[in-house]
Structure 1
Amino acid sequence: MKAVQFSEHGRRDVLEYDDFDDPEIDRDEVLVDVKAGALNHLDVFTRMGLGALQRLDLEMPHIPGSDAAGVVEEVGDDVERLEPGDRVAVSAGLACGHCEFCRDGDPTICEDFQIIGEHVRGVHSELAAVPAENLVPVPEGVDWEIAAAAPLVFQTAWRMLVTRADLQPGESILVLGASGGVGHAAVQIADYIGAEVYATASTDEKLEYAADIGADHTINYDENDFAEAIDEATDDRGVDVVVDHIGKATWQNSLDSLAKGGRVVTCGATTGGNPETDINNIFWNQLEIYGSTMGTPGEVDDVLELVWEGEFEPRIRETLPMSEADRAHEIIEEREGFGKVVVIPDSEL
């Protein structure tokens, strides 16, 4: 088969689209004929060798990619709920299944939690071996690009807003980086819940997209200090919830944007994970900080059902052949456009 791959960490020029041994499936795995994959900022960090808590130690060559959709080609001996011909999408979180957190029903806090594409071989390839429990059914009529682009960002945003921050109808929320994958999913979910949605982006074009998918108020963060803009828009009250997946560059402003008793929820730190923090602000205003990673199987099912029904729409900023993976990574790194970047195996074009 052909696969996107790299044999060393580094810049985009380490990426190749070349021959790779066909995967062999274990008893609990499924062989998927990949029809489309999608990128996340996670793919850039993985290529660079940077994990959330430490540098990655990967078996090389490594195939990146946490998002993909396709058709079941073969199932392992212990797999019962899937069969050849089924349409499926990948949900990338891997859990041990037996630690205290898995037993309590929240594998996202698993002691050995890993992500397909980051810690183990990914799915940006013509064929992929995936544990059966990491595959979700895709109904007929759902485009492969949509099926590939939705799972990681929509489950992440759903858990952040619904489970962790417990966003309520009528509350106000600020979504940073609304043009990115998680950001544009969070805007739609917040609007669906019935919150008043503020969104930031770097260009007026991106802000128009954000308004189109549910943002009530938009802020160009290249032209305005977003914390000051929130103060002005809310008569110095602040918002109830801030979604911050940016990190170091925005953290203090995120805290400053909160109302008393407000909550900030984070799933990542694309500009760095060690910001300065005004602890006085946190305790005096009784702020709450929530971390969040991906979603539980139940959360994945809940949000993807709404995607398949058309309630939520993953916006596709560009679709490219996998042989142009370097360009796909560039779009993510340079924050070009709005929404997700999709890659298609060259053999499917």
Structure 2
Amino acid sequence: MKAQVIRGHGATEDITYEENWPDPQPGPTEVVLKVKACTLNYHDLFTLKGMPGIKLNMPLIMGIDLAGEVESFGPEVTGWKAGDRVMIDPINRKTFKLTGEGADGGLAEKVKVDVTQLIPLPNDVSFEAAAALPVAYGTAYRMMVTHGKIAAGEKVFILGASGGVGTCCVQLAKLAGAHVIVAASSEEKLEQLRAIGADEGVNYQSTNFMEEMHRRFGKPRFFGNGGVDVVVNFTGGDTWVPSLRCARNGGRILTCGATAGYDPKEDLRYIWTFELNIVGSNGWLPEDLHSLLDLTRRGKLKPAVGHRYSLQKTREAFNALEDRKVFGKVVITP
């Protein structure tokens, strides 16, 4: 089969296109899928470059999120047949290994997963839409709905809104009836975010977003008004402390990652003075993915796909992701 393979941590030029990579063979409870769509996440960049304390077996095929068709399966697999359309839960909950990291992933024509990872894919949800859901949208759903409890009438400010997680956060907040403010790096991205539900936008390249939020919603006061109800910040880095200063007294800060840096300078004064609630969220559960599929099938949620590449152009897709030139999800098809 054709596959994109890494033999060690490095840069995009270290991703190798192989035209005769061995086909995966299913074990007793495993299923081999024909990959129809695979989407990239920033986690794939972390896998490529290497993460402190995490050792991976090489060579490795990356690609966490995918959807496809059942091709073959092991003797203990029941209830599935060749041609069945499926999305996968990227976490093997027997081994707790992540597809595309602890096991080969979807940047190939075929992939092997455990049968427990299969989720039936309705005919009215495309492979592309399904492949956009698990990591980014599953993470956003757990953060915004399960832990964040976004409610109607709340003012929700979302940083990093133009990526995969962010575009889902925008739609979920809007579905909840919130007033949605987004931050993005260009007017083009802000227009795209308004098209999927954002009410207001801040261009953080040309404007100090904290000062702009104070201008629009007031400076937070311990006694009095000012600030927004919820700030969503999964970028970290230099945005962390300014984002704390956008939340109202008693407001919530939701986080599920740190794409711009996990060890930002902190200022605890804002947390205790304004009695802020820092709410962390990690990953997703299978039921979250079923809920997202249902929302997508009913047209309530539309996964934002900004760029499409062939499997052979995987390096270009990684470069676009790393340079933050993308809106929504990046889809790769074999």
TM-score (norm 2): 0.94
What secondary structure sits across from 2:182 in the alignment? strand
2:75 aligned with 1:77:
yes
Matching residue of 1:136: 119
| C-alpha deviation, 1:249, in angstroms | 2.3
| C-alpha deviation, 1:261, in angstroms | 1.1
Which segments of 5 or more consecutive residues in structure 1 lack a partner in the other structure?
A: 97-111
Closer/same/farther in 2, CA of residues 81 and 264 from structure 1, 3 Å limit: farther
Matching residue of 1:86: 84
309, 314, 328: which one aligns with 1:339: 328
Distance 2:144 2:79 in 1: 30
What secondary structure sits across from 1:250 in the alignment? helix
| C-alpha deviation, 1:77, in angstroms | 2.9
Distance 1:82 1:257 in 2: 50
Matching residue of 2:177: 194
250, 273, 279: which one aligns with 2:262: 273
Matching residue of 1:238: 227
Within a 5 Å distance, the mapping from 1:1-349 to structure 2 comes to 1-18=1-18, 19-50=20-51, 54-96=52-94, 113-236=96-219, 237-345=226-334
The code of the aligned residue for 1:9 comes to H
The code of the aligned residue for 1:90 comes to I
> How many pairs are equivalent?
327
Task: Determine if contact 1:66/1:90 at 8 Å carries over to the other structure.
Answer: no
| C-alpha deviation, 1:121, in angstroms | 2.1
Task: Determine if contact 2:156/2:178 at 8 Å carries over to the other structure.
Answer: yes
The code of the aligned residue for 1:136 comes to I
Task: Determine if contact 2:238/2:265 at 8 Å carries over to the other structure.
Answer: no
Which segments of 5 or more consecutive residues in structure 2 lack a partner in the other structure?
A: 220-225
Which shifted more, 287-296 or 154-163? Answer: 287-296
| C-alpha deviation, 1:4, in angstroms | 1.1
Distance 1:78 1:263 in 2: 47
Task: Determine if contact 1:16/1:323 at 8 Å carries over to the other structure.
Answer: no
Distance 1:148 1:277 in 2: 36
Matching residue of 1:104: none
The code of the aligned residue for 1:335 comes to R
- Could you report, residue by residue, the CA deviation over 1:76-131 in whole angstroms, capped at 9, with x for unpaired residues? 333334322110112212334xxxxxxxxxxxxxxx74422133322211111112
Closer/same/farther in 2, CA of residues 115 and 243 from structure 1, 3 Å limit: farther
- Could you report, residue by residue, the CA deviation over 1:51-99 in whole angstroms, capped at 9, with x for unpaired residues? xxx3431111110011111101122333334322110112212334xxx
| C-alpha deviation, 1:10, in angstroms | 0.8
What secondary structure sits across from 1:252 in the alignment? helix
Closer/same/farther in 2, CA of residues 113 and 230 from structure 1, 3 Å limit: farther
Q: CA RMSD in A?
A: 1.5
Task: Determine if contact 1:93/1:294 at 8 Å carries over to the other structure.
Answer: no
Task: Determine if contact 2:57/2:102 at 8 Å carries over to the other structure.
Answer: no
Task: Determine if contact 2:130/2:293 at 8 Å carries over to the other structure.
Answer: no
Distance 2:182 2:75 in 1: 48
Task: Determine if contact 1:171/1:240 at 8 Å carries over to the other structure.
Answer: yes
TM-score (norm 1): 0.90
Task: Determine if contact 1:67/1:92 at 8 Å carries over to the other structure.
Answer: yes
Task: Determine if contact 1:244/1:266 at 8 Å carries over to the other structure.
Answer: yes
The code of the aligned residue for 1:74 comes to S
